[in-house]
Each structure stands twice: as structure tokens, then as C-alpha cells.
A = this chain, B = another copy of it.
Amino acid sequence: MPELRHDPIQKRWVIIATERARRPSDFPPEPASPGGAGFCPFCEGNEDKTPPEIFAVRNSGGQADGPGWLIRVVSNKFPALRIEGDLDRAGVGMFDKMNGVGAHEVVIETPCHDQNLAGLPDAHVGQLIDVYRQRLNDLKRDPRFRYILIFKNYGVTAGASLAHPHTQLIATPVTPKTVAQELDAAREHYVQRERCLFCDVIRQETQSQDRIVYDDGQYVALAPFASRFPFEVFLAPRQHAHDFGDLSEGDGQGFARALREVLRRLKVTLNDPPYNFVLHTAPNTSTAPRRPGYWTTLPYDFHWHLEVIPRLTRVAGFEWGTGFYINPTPPEDAARFLREAVTG
């Protein structure tokens, strides 16, 4: 069973793998491209090489764990957290730990190995967004899970270990530090002003236009004023919404269009860069008691959004040691390049 451990100095939880632990000789030099050249367990026809499917979109029928799917969700074969068991919170002297209970799923975005998310049809991306929403809401029913993360690693530099297009979901029994900080900031802003922090940012950015990447009235993509990374993009609904799980079908289609447009602009502008994206949404309070450590999610405490981070620069000692970033591309420049990109 993996362990969750708490650092009293940085006040952060860490997942420590205890099974299949990696020894010094298990850290080989980095491969140039995602592994598995030749055989791919995510390709259509290889369904028996993954754990059984949890969910699938099969527009033209077909049996579970057989071919005929458009999108397929399976458990991660090498999960960071285990679905079975209790948290068993315990102290270790002055430290804290609990069992590494959680869920780790893989959303296989398409049966086609060589496709990529930016190139899929809008309707297909729309169905993918709906799969994200459904898995999020399903995992929220488990009272052990306080947060469900949806994220994507594209390209080796961004941490992808398989080239076949896929997204990951991890459900964790704690609210991750970065999300907790955003929740705190949004709460503080709301308490002082009775306005949503994110709505205020979107409103100001829309007025100035300097950092707007894309705006279709329903969704806004922008280069954040204090971007940590070159060509970082923040994508959010213009209309206030705290929980991605509440997304309606029409809003999902709109989000799919906006996401695909942002990814295509990054691809054209930066020559198909490696990237990560992460969805930040309200934590799971559907089943949790309201007590310290749980964030309540009054509707104005959060505003869901997606952060896209192209991996163009190396993160070095300065950033690790300080949480302070040096960004060599002003977000105004990044937004202009992305705004003017020709994707069609």
C-alpha cells in the first residue's frame, strides 16, 4: 500500500510508493520518445492488456473490453494510489501519515494511436469532456476522496510514458496544496468584496485585451498577468461556475471547442510542444462533513478553470528552492502570438 506522508515544514502531502519501490539502478537516462514503440496497450484490439474498463463511449455498440469504442476509461495499471482500504490516519512521532487510498484512472481519448487531442473533431472532444465530467461525479460519491484531479501529460518532456493520447484522473483523500491555496485566495477575496476573484480577473483581462488569447463569449483563454511559464494559458468559463461536475451538455460542447482551439494555437505557434494541462475545480464536499481541512464550496469560493503549461524551459534550482519563477516571455507577447496564430 502506498503511503501519504505530511511534511511539517512545507505543510504538503506526498505520495510515497512502497510497492515496486525504485532503487538507484532503476533511474536510467531519459528516453527520447515515449516508450512502448511497437506494442501499445491503449490501441483498439489490445483491450485485454489493460485493467477492465470502468466506462466507455461505444457509439456503434460493441462489448465491454472489446473493440468498437471511441473513448475508454480504465484503471491505471501502475496506480499511484490504491482503491481498496481505509485511510488509517496515524502519527509517526511529530509526523503524520495515512494509507495511500485513492483512485487512478486513465481516459484513452481515441482508439487511434497517432491521433492527438488538438486534431480530434469537436464532437469527439465534446464527448471526452463529458467523460471527464461523468468520471469526476462518479468518484465524488466516495466519501474518502476530497479532490479529483484531471490532468494530461503530452510528450516525454511533459512526463508522458505512453504516446497514445490519454488523460489521467487521480482521486486523493486530501485537497492538494496548490488547489487549497487557490481556494483560500478566492475565499478571502469573496469575504472582502463579495465578488469572485476569478470573475474579477476575467473581467479586467477582457477590458484590457492585452493578454487575451481566445474569447468566444462563453469561454475565455488568457495568458496570466504573472505567468510562471512562457505561453502558459488559463482557460475558464466567462459565466461564474465553481464545479466542473455541474457542466451542462451545451457548456461541455463549448468548452471542447475552446480547449481544442487553445491546443491548436499552441501547436501551430510552438511547433507541437510538450505540455501539461490540469483542471482545477471545486473540491469534493458532497459527502464530507464540514470541518477543518475540508473546504466548503459555496458557489463563490471557486471558479473552475484549466491551466495549460507548455514545457519549453527547464525548471532549475532557483524555482524548486523558492517557488519563484523566471519567465523569459512576457504574457502580453505570448498572448499576441497565440491570438494571431492561424489554425484553420
Which of the segments A39-47, A52-60, A250-258, A312-320 contacts the partner chain? A312-320
Q: Which residues of B contact A189 (CB under 8 A)?
A: 8
User: How far is the CB of A316 from the nearest CB of chain B, in Å?
Assistant: 3
Q: Which residues of B contact A316 (CB under 8 A)?
A: 151, 153, 158-160, 276
CB–CB A16/B179 < 8 A: no
Q: With A and B bound together, what is the CA distance between A333 and B16 in angstroms?
A: 11
Q: Name the interface residues of A196-211: CB closer than 8 Å to any CB of B.
A: 197-198, 200-201, 204, 208
CB–CB B322/A177 < 8 A: yes
CB–CB B151/A321 < 8 A: yes
Q: Which residues of B contact A22 (CB under 8 A)?
A: 230, 328-329
Q: With A and B bound together, what is the CA distance between A18 and B329 in angstroms?
A: 7
Q: With A and B bound together, what is the CA distance between A313 and B230 in angstroms?
A: 22
Q: With A and B bound together, what is the CA distance between A328 and B181 in angstroms?
A: 26
Name which of A26, A170, A278 has the most chain B CB atoms within 10 A of its CB: A278
Which of the segments A66-74, A88-96, A120-128, A285-293 contacts the partner chain? A88-96
Per-position contact with B for A224-247: 1 when CB-CB < 8 Å, else 0?
111110110000000000000000
Q: Name the interface residues of A315-344: CB closer than 8 Å to any CB of B.
A: 315-318, 320-331, 333, 337
Q: Which residues of B contact A198 (CB under 8 A)?
A: 9
Known: A5-B226, A8-B201, A197-B9. A14 touches B324 (CB 8 A): yes
Select which of B225, B324, B328 is within 8 A of A176 by beta carbon: B324
Size of A's binding interface in residues, CB under 8 A: 94
> Is A191 in contact with chain B by the CB < 8 A criterion?
no
CB–CB B228/A14 < 8 A: yes
CB–CB B24/A337 < 8 A: yes
Copies of this chain, whole number: 2
Interface of A is mostly: mixed
Q: With A and B bound together, what is the CA distance between A204 and B95 in angstroms?
A: 10
Q: With A and B bound together, what is the CA distance between A278 and B197 in angstroms?
A: 33
> Is A280 in contact with chain B by the CB < 8 A criterion?
yes
Known: A224-B7, A330-B16. A318 touches B170 (CB 8 A): yes
User: How far is the CB of A168 from the nearest CB of chain B, in Å?
Assistant: 7
CB–CB B9/A324 < 8 A: no
Q: Which residues of B contact A168 (CB under 8 A)?
A: 317-318
Select which of B15, B225, B337 is within 8 A of A95 by beta carbon: B225
CB–CB B278/A317 < 8 A: yes
Given contacts A7-B225, A149-B318, A172-B324, 7 further A-B contacts (CB under 8 A): A6-B226, A16-B226, A21-B333, A27-B313, A93-B204, A151-B321, A152-B317
28 contacts between A and B (CB under 8 A): A3-B330, A5-B226, A7-B224, A8-B189, A8-B201, A10-B181, A10-B226, A11-B181, A14-B226, A14-B227, A15-B326, A16-B227, A18-B330, A20-B328, A21-B328, A23-B333, A24-B231, A151-B321, A158-B314, A158-B317, A159-B316, A168-B318, A172-B324, A177-B324, A178-B324, A276-B320, A280-B321, A307-B321
Which A residues contact B (CB, under 8 angstroms)?
A: 3, 5-18, 20-24, 26-27, 30, 80, 92-95, 149, 151-153, 156-160, 168, 170, 172, 176-179, 181-182, 185-186, 189, 197-198, 200-201, 204, 208, 224-228, 230-231, 269-271, 273, 276-280, 307, 309, 312-318, 320-331, 333, 337
